[in-house]
Amino acid sequence: QVQLVESGGGLVQAGGSLRLSCAASEDTWSRYNMGWFRQAPGKEREFVAGISWTAFNIAYANSVKGRFTISRDNAKNAVYLQMNSLKPEDTAVYYCAAVGADSTVVRRSRADYDYWGQGTQVTVSS
């Protein structure tokens, strides 16, 4: 059972930056593909970014491409989401997710992930 804990959320002005972190409890976490999702009030949870266990494959939602960067440090059992040029529409609860890696394909569907963190709130003011 993988436990994920997100941190780094907060309130920021438009154009600002935040760095989210996700810490994993599993010692074999390095063999998990990871993803970041977000859910705004009244909306479905949506894919933001994903990274394979090798870190060779990375994918982004079109809405964040060029502004957000996902990375991982397997030695620290952590995955990060650097968010720059934040916009009010980025306001949401951000979730870290994990799935055991049977390939290096980055999954974009929430149904493909088995483990989820509790979420961290990101609020971008205009």
> Taking residues 22-42, what's their average pLDDT?
88
Beta strands 120-125 and 10-13 are: parallel
Beta bridge partners, 115, equal 98
Q: Which two tokens stand for residue 14?
A: 């438009």
Residue 108: pLDDT band with limits 50, 70, 90: very high
pLDDT at residue 27 is higher than 70:
no
Beta bridge partners, 47, equal 37
| 86 contact partners, CB below 8 Å, separation of at least 6 | 12, 14, 15, 16, 17, 18, 67, 122, 124
Residue 2: pLDDT band with limits 50, 70, 90: confident
Q: What is the mean pLDDT of the chain?
A: 94
pLDDT at residue 75 is higher than 70:
yes
Length of the chain: 126
Q: At 48, is the secondary structure helix, strand, or coil?
A: strand
Q: What is the pLDDT of residues 76-92, one digit of tens each?
A: 899 999 999 999 999 99
Give residue 26's pLDDT. Answer: 72
